[in-house]
Amino acid sequence: MTKPPAHGPRPALPTEPLTPTQEFLDRASEAGIEFDGEDLPRLGRYLAMLLAANEVMNLTAVREPAEAWLRHILDSLQLLPMLADLPEGAKVIDVGSGGGLPGIPLAITMPHLKFTLLEATGKKVDFLAHTVTTLGLTNCTVVQARAEAAGQNRGERGPDGRQNAFRESFDAVLARAVGPMPVIAELTVPLAKVGGLILLVKGEKAESELAEAAAALHALKAVHESTVMTPTSRVVVLGKQSATPRTYPRADGEPKRSPLGVKKRPDDSKPPASVEE
């Protein structure tokens, strides 16, 4: 079910890091974000690799480095304060990681946490794995799987209990630009431990999406704790009160085809589309 990526031939990616813009540095400072010695060179190298790979595969609509420093790197790092209280070795999963956002910038700047990048598309998985290896991110693992399958993965039975489970095994679950709130809630909440944290990076429609997702959150045993306004996005913070019912997540594709708790209107001809950043 969940498996590490298998690599084929890869295009050459840049080794020289992009230099952070002064606007990025100023806005990061205003947000209280501090960088250790190798953070900025690693972030710059990651961004160079992301933009180069984007020339041959669809990873992001943002193509200019100056804009990418703000919309991708700064946007990802806005989650730092929300993850700051996690203990050493806490497990964090980035669902639908795509080009590695927000997981890779956070793994670079929070080496004491263990990150999993969950992605279903093979080419993106290969890019993520190559990038993680190139950057030397020993606290970061790439797994190829659909979120529905990962959310139902209870691990293997062993003498010391179940091992290698994904379901209800993460201290924090992240998702950015993956889909509408009722859909992404069903794909993320089952992965969080009871008492865990779910951080959903959304845009201007966060509040209306939350209203639409009320029934889904109730069914999943999750609650809306807060919405954090950042200079680049709105971060919806969910908490998990008790174990997710075994029914969820549903089978592959079902959360998108029939969003949980959303009544289909007569003029609806297709399910909500995912959002591409």
In whole angstroms, give the CA distance from residue 239 to residue 195: 7
Both tokens assigned to 49: 């690799």
| Residues 263, 215 contacting (CB under 8 angstroms) | no
In whole angstroms, give the CA distance from residue 191 to residue 95: 9
Q: Is 42 exposed, middle or buried (0-12, 13-18, 19+ CB in 10 A)?
A: buried
- Average of pLDDT values for 48-67? 92
Residue 69 has pLDDT above 70, yes or no: yes
Q: Is 29 exposed, middle or buried (0-12, 13-18, 19+ CB in 10 A)?
A: exposed
SS3 for 232-266, per residue? CCEEEEEEECCCCCCCCCCCCCHHHHCCCCCCCCC
Mean pLDDT, the chain, rounded, equals 91
Confidence class of residue 44 from pLDDT cuts 50, 70 and 90? very high
Residue 264: per-residue pLDDT: 72
pTM: 0.90
Both tokens assigned to 173: 């679950």
Residue 172 has pLDDT above 50, yes or no: yes
Instruction: Give the number of C-alpha atoms closer than 13 A to the C-alpha of residue 102, restricted to the C-beta side.
Output: 29
Both tokens assigned to 118: 């969950």
Domains of the chain: 86-257 (3.40.50.150)
Phi-psi region of 67 (alpha: psi -120 to 50; beta: other; left: phi over 0): alpha
Residue 11: per-residue pLDDT: 52
Confidence class of residue 160 from pLDDT cuts 50, 70 and 90? confident
Q: Tens of pLDDT along 203-242? A: 889 999 999 999 999 999 999 999 999 988 999 999 998 9
Q: Is 153 exposed, middle or buried (0-12, 13-18, 19+ CB in 10 A)?
A: buried
Residue 277: per-residue pLDDT: 39
Q: Going by C-beta distance under 8 Å and a sequence separation of 6 or more, which residues neighbour residue 260?
A: 182, 183, 185, 186, 215, 216, 219, 220, 248, 250
Q: Is the dihedral of CA 108, 110, 111, 115 positive or negative?
A: negative
Beta strands in the chain (DSSP E): 91-95, 114-119, 140-144, 156-158, 161-163, 170-176, 192-202, 222-229, 234-240
Residue 268: per-residue pLDDT: 52
Residue 232: per-residue pLDDT: 87
Residue 229: per-residue pLDDT: 94
Q: Going by C-beta distance under 8 Å and a sequence separation of 6 or more, which residues neighbour residue 270?
A: none
Q: Tens of pLDDT along 129-155? A: 999 999 999 999 999 999 999 999 999
Q: Tens of pLDDT along 184-200? A: 999 999 999 999 999 99
In whole angstroms, give the CA distance from residue 179 to residue 57: 20
Poorest-confidence range of 52-66, 107-121, 190-204? 52-66
Between the alpha carbon of residue 245 and those of residues 8, 68, 73, 152, the distances in Å are: 39, 39, 35, 11
Poorest-confidence range of 5-19, 26-40, 46-60? 5-19
Residue 275 has pLDDT above 60, yes or no: no
Confidence class of residue 3 from pLDDT cuts 50, 70 and 90? low
Higher pLDDT, 157 or 201: 201
